[in-house]
Amino acid sequence: MFSWQTQPLTWMHFLGMLIGAVIVLFLVLFIVMYTIYFERKVIGWMQNRIGPNRVGPFGLLQSAADVFKLLLKEDIIPANADRPMFLIAPIIAFVPSFMVLAVIPYTATHIFTAGLNVGVLYYIALSSISIVGIVLGGWASNNKYSLVGGLRSAAQMISYEIPLGLSILGVIMLAGSLNLNTIVTHQATDRFGWYIIPQIIGFVVFVIAAIAELNRTPFDLPEAESELVAGYFTEYTGFRFAFYMLAEYVYVFAISALGTTLFLGGWEGPFLPSWLWFAIKTSAFIFFLFWVRATMPRIRIDQLMGFAWKVLIPVALFNILLTGALSLIL
Amino acid sequence: MSTSLRTEEMILNVGPQHPSTHGVFRLVVTLDGEQIIDADPVVGYLHRGTEKLAEGLQYTQIIPYTDRLDYLAAMLNNYALVHTVEYALDLEIPARAEYLRVIVMELNRIASHLLFLGTYLLDLGAMSPFLYVFQERERIVQLFNEICGARLTYNYMRVGGVKWDAPPGWIEKVRDFIPFMREKVKMYDKLISGNEIFLHRVRGIGVITKEDALQYSLSGINLRSTGIAFDLRKNRPYSLYNQFEFDVVTGKNGDCFDRYYLHLEEIRQSLRIVEQAVAQIPEGPVLGKVPKLIRVPAGEYYRSIEGARGELGVYIVSDGKDKPYRLKLRRPSFVNLQILRKLLIGQSMANLIAILGAVDIVLGEVDA
Amino acid sequence: MAEDKQADKVASSETVEKAAPEKTAKAAPAKAAKAPAPPDPRVEQAKQQGEAIKVAIEQKLGAGTVEEVIASKEVPILRIASAKWREAITFLRDDPEQRFDYIELFAGTDYKDYIEVVLYLHAMSRGTYISVKTRTPREQAVLPSLAPVFPGVNWEEREVFDLLGVTFEGHPDLRRIMMWDGWNGHPLRKDYSEFENMPQRGGEPRG
Amino acid sequence: MLFGLPITGATITYFVLALIIIVSGVFMLTLTNVMHMAVSLVGVFLGVAGIFILLGADFVGLVQVMVYAGAITILMVFALMLTHRGLNGHLQGEVGPFRGTLTFLSVAIIVGTLLYAIRSTPWPGSTTALQPFHQSTVNLIANAIFHQYTVAFELVSAVLTVALVGAAVIARKEE
């Protein structure tokens, strides 16, 4: 395999890397489009509606049509907005969402995966940069709803990043590695099976914190429609709005993939090819997120913060303690 | 936080175009951080001068205008007007007409309360109930469509009766609707009333005391949620309400949860009334003997009915002509909305929507 | 039917006569004229009830507070001197005999010579209700405000101020409520003309 | 060959990162809007993190991203948004010629000293093959922190806690 660090970089190598990246990008875009379609269909069924069924067979091309519509729309910049910030904020939010996908092991062959030794850390570190994009977008719009939305999202995401990180810690302790590939292979041979079994508390904390990280119902306060109109992207239109939207759905996919990898055994499973196992588990995870969205009302902001600091973090800490104690005894 | 920290106040305009004000309603909120220190409701964006217009219209011509007040419960508005005119004329109403009126009014109350449930939950961030309630409401609206040809602005009542008799099979359809709706109410109760997040958002929020409720002239569910059993259908029976068995349900705490729950309970009570009315409805004419041109004898008359949102009254000053000298509409939403400022001050911004939603206003009625 | 014609006569002769004297003849239909009916028992009873309340009020606030007692159907109507308006309503609320603690209706009417403000009061504990009203001249339409005692009439008084032009003294927040601040005139007054008072675009009053 | 270095991916990455750091740093110093300055700082942090990773310290690099580019920046942006300055403020103030000259001179002296120090230090062979991603830096760091320097590490955490409590006390002022 080509080692980009030590071997001379030729144009061929560069082109190879570029093409690889573009392929992954389009693959992810495809997945995201159908995540959106999946959400609309699932929630449609849950609400006794049909969901998209006009563009293409079964409405399969609806998301594509939506994206095209957004790309063709006028890019409106409010007169009193902070122009450079307003333009750059969606990009800051969007780029890390794609970057985190680099470490997810989709298949047993690692064809798309960077075997980073600190994969989990990489995910958490990069996803925290997206918050900067959201806060800046809210600030640059020069709209009070956007500002409050941005502030709320910053407070929320910082609060929930802590239980998210702590909930993963139990898995890391069991696997003894931050490398996501290693974590998956460990789960295949672990005597308790997938880590959802020994780490059930961690898994619950992870799912709750993940929903909050994604700003989805019942934790969708930054974009709470009935309170803040659209929160931090109230003033955004066209493809800048699409950037935020896509970033949100890429994170839905990414965090589901991370959850699958950490707790549900990743690509591991009998009979079926590894990528299919991964797809099934991730879809189930995504489905759960949508299910919650269709069921729950929204929590209030102070309750949300209280819940993170008073409930989730102590529980996650307790889980770490328990994991440590159990792995010493057993 | 101690008060020594210097903070800046922020003025936030909620509305006139905002997803949760249910119409063109503006709330100028002064915020200190997330805490509301003042709230000034600004209404009038939907003012059409119904009262002024009515002074130039004959009584029958006013009926369609009342449809546009509380457009979620137009049957009740229709009735409030024709009832006051009938009261002034001391008219005898044919029994079948009265029964039909009670049936459509209670159905309309159910439809209106259903929409409250949906929009309130939507305000609190739950989107599914909003889509569920529209299915039951659709059945009611279909029934109305069959009886009067309109889905929203019915113009169904007439002085002395109703415009159309029920089409064949309509009464049976209403009868079939009752058990269906009962099941659905049970479902909503299960779905919503026990939800922990929902309870955290509405329990103990926006508490109205008995004294405040009386001082602010609240009516309807806002009044009954404080524990005062005042329902004009019971306390000052009009139409056939003294013939039906139903309960006036009251709350205990006067908070948003009580107001939500009373809506559910009132749907149950309305179903009981509809059930009895459907069982008893006689045959006969639906429009009494009324002069072609209705002239209300000179004098002043005030009658009020229990609307979907509270005491819905019509005050007529007549000089004996075929047009009212002055028509004043006592719109419950308008009066109930006044307490909003008191409820909001001192609350956190996040509670604003929960409180505003539970007061249950319709802007068409507030602004008349 | 005949009975209430009588009632109408009572009401009309005392309340609307001044407003539209030329209409009263028209208002009394031929039927009622043919057979002069016995007095409506409802009206009689209501009047008695009204008189009793009048006595109670005047005991406390002095004679002349209640200018007139009439009735419309079963509702007693008390006309109160505008100077004692707030005192009388507060008395009706706080007096343990009366306890009319709930304001149902607050309406204003322009009668060409004067403007009348009408209240329907309900006693929650007893379930009875009465109507009280007061008058103020059209040109200098000023009444004491009830809003400090009954916060629930705050907007109603603003509405009457906006649409009928009655100034309520002591109101905490007397602004227009339905029309915007630049509106000219008071639309519910009988002599209001939308053509004379039409504001320019943007809400600025004309001329 | 570029500045005597072979053109590998690492070389190019290094120059790209260096450019990002320098450009962001210049922006950070010259922009007048505090918010823009805060965002420029993110560029510096990210570039530095990239350099860390390039040197094989992937753990430190990612902690740099998480703590500085993520948390610290958000903290700054948050503080700016909550104050009036963040909403519409620009940093003002003209620098007089005397102060400007003084600043230039001191910066020039520092840069000269640094350059001299770097050029005159005998660095170990710079072309030895690095295999950064095949050693577990996490284990090394964990060993260092929790075995070799446990006491120092705990002391530092105690000092930080004291600082935190002190900050809270100062912020609350007198009751």
Does A305 touch chain B if contact means CB atoms closer than 8 Å? no
Mean pLDDT value across residues B10-26: 79
| Closest C-alpha to C194, from C178, C183, C207 | C183
Q: Which residue has the higher pLDDT, A241 or A221?
A: A241
The radius of gyration of chain C from alpha carbons, rounded to an integer in Å, stands at 19
Query: Residues of C numbered 25-84 whose beta carbons fall under 8 angstroms of chain B's beta carbons: which are they?
Result: 26-29, 72-73, 75, 77
Chain D residue with CA closest to A139: the answer is D81
Find the CB nearest D42 among A116, A125, A132. Answer: A132
B vs D: CB pairs below 8 A: 8
Query: What is the least distance, in Å, from the CA of D127 to any CA of chain A?
Result: 9
The verdict on a CB contact (< 8 Å) between C151 and B338 is: yes
| Predicted pLDDT of residue D161 | 93
The verdict on a CB contact (< 8 Å) between B10 and A144 is: yes
Q: Which residue has the higher pLDDT, D11 or D164?
A: D164
Question: Is a pLDDT exceeding 90 seen at residue D109?
Answer: yes
The verdict on a CB contact (< 8 Å) between B2 and D84 is: no
pLDDT per residue as tens digits for the range C176-207:
888 887 777 888 888 887 776 665 555 555 44
> Distance of alpha carbon C161 from its chain centroid, rounded?
14
Question: Is a pLDDT exceeding 70 seen at residue D84?
Answer: no
Domain count, chain B: 1
Mean pLDDT value across residues A225-244: 79
Q: Which residue has the higher pLDDT, B5 or A215?
A: A215
| Predicted pLDDT of residue A240 | 85
The verdict on a CB contact (< 8 Å) between D173 and B4 is: yes
The verdict on a CB contact (< 8 Å) between B297 and C12 is: yes
| Closest C-alpha to A4, from B156, B311, D12, B253 | D12
The verdict on a CB contact (< 8 Å) between D175 and B8 is: no
| Closest C-alpha to B315, from B55, B45, B48 | B55
At D33, the pLDDT band (50, 70, 90 cuts) reads confident
D contacts of B8 (beta carbons < 8 Å): 84
Domain that holds residue B230: 48-288+296-357
At D131, the pLDDT band (50, 70, 90 cuts) reads low
The verdict on a CB contact (< 8 Å) between D65 and A129 is: yes
A contacts of B348 (beta carbons < 8 Å): 300-302
pLDDT per residue as tens digits for the range B242-275:
888 888 888 888 888 998 999 999 999 999 999 9
**For B156, which DSSP code?**
-
Q: How is chain D split into domains, by residue range?
A: 1-88, 133-175
Mean pLDDT value across residues A80-101: 85
Q: In angstroms, rounded to a whole number, what is the distance separating the alpha carbons of residues A128 and B33? A: 25
pTM: 0.81
Mean pLDDT of chain C: 76
Compute φ and ψ for A312, nearest 5 degrees. -65, -45
At D113, the pLDDT band (50, 70, 90 cuts) reads very high
At C35, the pLDDT band (50, 70, 90 cuts) reads low
Highest mean pLDDT among A198-202, C133-137, D35-39: C133-137
Chain D residue with CA closest to B33: the answer is D82
Touch between B and D (at least 3 CB pairs under 8 Å):
yes
Architecture of domain D1-88: Up-down Bundle (1.20)
| Predicted pLDDT of residue C2 | 43
pLDDT per residue as tens digits for the range A170-187:
888 888 888 888 888 888
| Predicted pLDDT of residue D133 | 47
CA C52 vs CA A256, B243, C43, C63, C85: distances in Å: 78, 33, 14, 14, 18
Q: How is chain C split into domains, by residue range?
A: 2-140
| Predicted pLDDT of residue C126 | 83
Does A46 touch chain B if contact means CB atoms closer than 8 Å? yes
| Predicted pLDDT of residue D111 | 93
Does D68 touch chain A if contact means CB atoms closer than 8 Å? no
Which residue out of B9, B22, B124, B260 would a mutagenesis test of the A interface target, given it has the greatest number of A Cβ atoms within 10 Å? B124
pLDDT per residue as tens digits for the range D9-20:
777 888 888 999
Chain B residue with CA closest to C154: the answer is B338
Does D35 touch chain A if contact means CB atoms closer than 8 Å? yes
A contacts of D133 (beta carbons < 8 Å): 115-117
Question: Is a pLDDT exceeding 70 seen at residue D120?
Answer: yes
D contacts of B10 (beta carbons < 8 Å): none
Chain A: partners with 3+ C-beta pairs within 8 Å: B, D
Question: Is a pLDDT exceeding 60 seen at residue A303?
Answer: yes
| Predicted pLDDT of residue A113 | 66
Query: What is the least distance, in Å, from the CA of B3 to any CA of chain D?
Result: 9
The verdict on a CB contact (< 8 Å) between D36 and A84 is: yes
Specify the range with the lowest mean pLDDT, choosing from A53-57, C118-122, D89-93.
D89-93
> CB–CB of B94/B285 below 8 Å?
yes
Specify the range with the lowest mean pLDDT, choosing from A40-49, B12-21, B26-35, B65-74.
B12-21
Does C115 touch chain B if contact means CB atoms closer than 8 Å? no
At D156, the pLDDT band (50, 70, 90 cuts) reads very high
Touch between D and C (at least 3 CB pairs under 8 Å):
no
> CB–CB of A209/A137 below 8 Å?
no
The verdict on a CB contact (< 8 Å) between A296 and B197 is: yes
The answer to whether residue B310 sits within a structural domain is yes
The verdict on a CB contact (< 8 Å) between D172 and B2 is: yes
Which residue out of D14, D31, D39 would a mutagenesis test of the A interface target, given it has the greatest number of A Cβ atoms within 10 Å? D39
Does C205 touch chain B if contact means CB atoms closer than 8 Å? no
Chain C: partners with 3+ C-beta pairs within 8 Å: B
**For C189, which DSSP code?**
S
| Predicted pLDDT of residue D158 | 94
Mean pLDDT value across residues A244-267: 86
Q: Cβ atoms within 10 A of the Cβ of A231, count?
A: 26
Query: Residues of A numbered 272-301 whose beta carbons fall under 8 angstroms of chain B's beta carbons: which are they?
Result: 293-301
Tokens 């709803």 correspond to what residue?
Answer: A145
Question: Is a pLDDT exceeding 60 seen at residue C49?
Answer: yes
Q: Give the CATH class of C2-140.
A: alpha beta
Find the CB nearest C101 among B214, B311, B334. Answer: B214
Query: What is the least distance, in Å, from the CA of D175 to any CA of chain B?
Result: 7
Does D168 touch chain B if contact means CB atoms closer than 8 Å? no
C contacts of B215 (beta carbons < 8 Å): 150-152
| Predicted pLDDT of residue D95 | 65
Report percent pLDDT > 90 for chain B.
12
Compute φ and ψ for C69, nearest 5 degrees. -125, 120
Q: Which residue has the higher pLDDT, B145 or A197?
A: B145
**For B191, which DSSP code?**
I
At D108, the pLDDT band (50, 70, 90 cuts) reads very high
At C5, the pLDDT band (50, 70, 90 cuts) reads very low
| Predicted pLDDT of residue C9 | 43
| Predicted pLDDT of residue D112 | 93
Does D94 touch chain B if contact means CB atoms closer than 8 Å? no
Query: What is the least distance, in Å, from the CA of A253 to any CA of chain D?
Result: 21
The answer to whether residue B305 sits within a structural domain is yes
Question: Is a pLDDT exceeding 70 seen at residue B219?
Answer: yes
Q: In angstroms, rounded to a whole number, what is the distance separating the alpha carbons of residues C201 and C197? A: 12
Mean pLDDT value across residues A263-290: 84
Q: Which residues of A189-202 are buried (b: 16+ CB within 10 A; e: fewer)?
A: eeeeebbbebbebb
The CATH number linked to B113 is 1.10.645.10
Q: In angstroms, rounded to a whole number, what is the distance separating the alpha carbons of residues D126 and D118? A: 13
The answer to whether residue B322 sits within a structural domain is yes
At C36, the pLDDT band (50, 70, 90 cuts) reads low
> CB–CB of A167/A319 below 8 Å?
yes
At B7, the pLDDT band (50, 70, 90 cuts) reads low
Q: Which residue has the higher pLDDT, D62 or A228?
A: D62
DSSP β-bridge partners for residue C168 = C143
Chain A residue with CA closest to D14: the answer is A5
A contacts of D59 (beta carbons < 8 Å): 118, 121
Specify the range with the lowest mean pLDDT, choosing from A273-287, B123-137, B209-223, D88-102.
D88-102
| Closest C-alpha to B175, from B307, B284, B286, B280 | B280
Q: Cβ atoms within 10 A of the Cβ of C143, count?
A: 24
The radius of gyration of chain D from alpha carbons, rounded to an integer in Å, stands at 21
Mean pLDDT value across residues B68-84: 89
| Predicted pLDDT of residue B26 | 86
At D114, the pLDDT band (50, 70, 90 cuts) reads very high
Does A6 touch chain D if contact means CB atoms closer than 8 Å? yes
